[in-house]
Amino acid sequence: MTTAERHIPLLDLRAQHAALRDEVVAALLRVVDSQNFILGEEVDKLEQEIAPYCGARFAVGCASGSDALSLALMALGIQPGDEVLTVPFTFFSTAGEISLLGAKPVFVDIDPSTFNMDMNRVEDALRVHPRIRAVIPVHLFGGCADLDPLRNLTTLRSIPIIEDAAQSIGAEYRGARAGSIGAVGCLSFYPTKNLGAYGDGGMLTTNDSALAERLKSLRVHGRTGKYIHQSIGVNSRLDALQAAVLRVKFRRLDSWTARRQQNAALYRELLSAARLPVSAPDPTPYQTRHVFNQFVIRCAQRDQLQTHLREHGIGTEVYYPLSLHQQSCFSSLGYHPGDFPVSEKAAAEALAVPVNPEVSSSDIEYVCESIRSFYALAGNQ
């Protein structure tokens, strides 16, 4: 086959939709016919399905993963001037939501092998920043951050953990599901996520009934009864139409995850057999269930490799090209280039290749062969 004949997108949502179309349309029609668009039965049922799936007692739907983060911060009482510890190598909103509430993100660098918070750096950060009132570890790309050492440090100081599990629904840390370990977990149903809506959507998970009640109130303007408000919240409800779609897709989530895991294993096998100067993610022992929202390889000539793969019809993406401490909107935080060298290196080397459930074994063989041909051409083999 010539290179031009093949097209492997990073994510093929149309292929996924084609397999579900009738069920999704029927679910959407059910909501349209009911004319119940705001919260209601579909959202309640989805919450009742997602909570046990995430090993949590309660789940609270909201409008997006970003809103889940800000609702969690609000519910935990984060105030202007407070500091919140997180990582600079993540999607923007992890830190953006902290700043929007008037609090200050404090960054610690990541562990190069997992792309997640380097727990060896947390104790120092907590000592230097006594105003830290919450910690947001991110379970990036579908693999959990190392939460036990973090819990040991934060429990002592009564600092709550907000798990950013936007990319990690169903992932496990030492057998416990993402979103069930910290005070609260935040999920995103953005279409590229393992469980993606047909638009925006998000959910919070918690084992704390009082916190669940606060979250439910905050998502409807802080309402506690009809036109009664004891606090000021926001309008952030999960749309009933989205909930109906998500309930159809949720039934496939485990089989899709299994496909992602098989695809990741095949990548690892082929890339290590080819002995290329590319490192492929290998779950650490505590990541007992990695759900591979992305399969992110690392290599020194990332941008050239991306161009080569594009020329061979292969879709890739750079998650994330800039570490957050280098974003101009965070310049007032006072960080400088070089402050988080592991994150900065990851931003220069990381490349996500297609791992979604629609990708076949032969697609992956072709991607790996194309990576090999890049190094052969570059004379690096």
Ligand X SMILES: Cc1ncc(COP(=O)(O)O)c(C=O)c1O
Applying CB under 6 A, the residues found at the interface with ligand X are 64-66, 90-91, 93-94, 138, 164, 166-167, 188, 190, 200, 202
H helices of 85-231, in order, are 93-100, 122-128, 147-156, 209-218
Q: How far is the CB of 365 from ligand X (least distance, A)?
A: 29
Q: Which is nearer to ligand X, 109 or 200 (CB)?
A: 200
Q: Residue 319 CB, nearest distance to ligand X (Å)? A: 8
Which stretches within the chain are classed as H helix? Answer: 13-34, 40-53, 65-75, 93-100, 122-128, 147-156, 209-218, 240-250, 253-274, 302-311, 341-349, 361-377
CA distance 254 to 187: 16
DSSP, collapsed to helix, strand or coil, labels residue 380 as: coil
The residue among 63 and 271 lying less far from ligand X, judged by its C-beta, is 63
Least Å distance, CB 205 to ligand X, is 14
Least distance to ligand X from the beta carbon of 165, Å?
8
| Residue closer to ligand X (CB basis): 65 or 233 | 65
Q: How far is the CB of 202 from ligand X (least distance, A)?
A: 5
CA distance 38 to 238: 8
- Number of residues assigned to the chain: 381
CB of residue 182 to ligand X, shortest distance in Å: 14
Smaller CB distance to ligand X: residue 136 or 299? 136
Shortest Cβ contact with ligand X: which residue? Answer: 65
Comparing CB distances to ligand X, the nearer of 292 and 366 is 292
Nearer to ligand X, 64 or 326 (CB): 64
**Shortest spacing between CB 235 and ligand X, in angstroms:** 15
Rank residues 118 and 164 by Cβ distance to ligand X and give the closer one: 164
- For the chain, helix (H) and strand (E) counts, in that order, are 12, 13
Question: Which is it for the CA torsion 171, 172, 176, 179, positive or negative?
Answer: negative
Q: What are phi and psi of 38, to 5 degrees?
A: -110, 115
Query: Mapping DSSP to helix (H, G, I), strand (E, B) and coil, where does residue 110 land?
Result: strand
3-class state of residue 251 by DSSP: coil
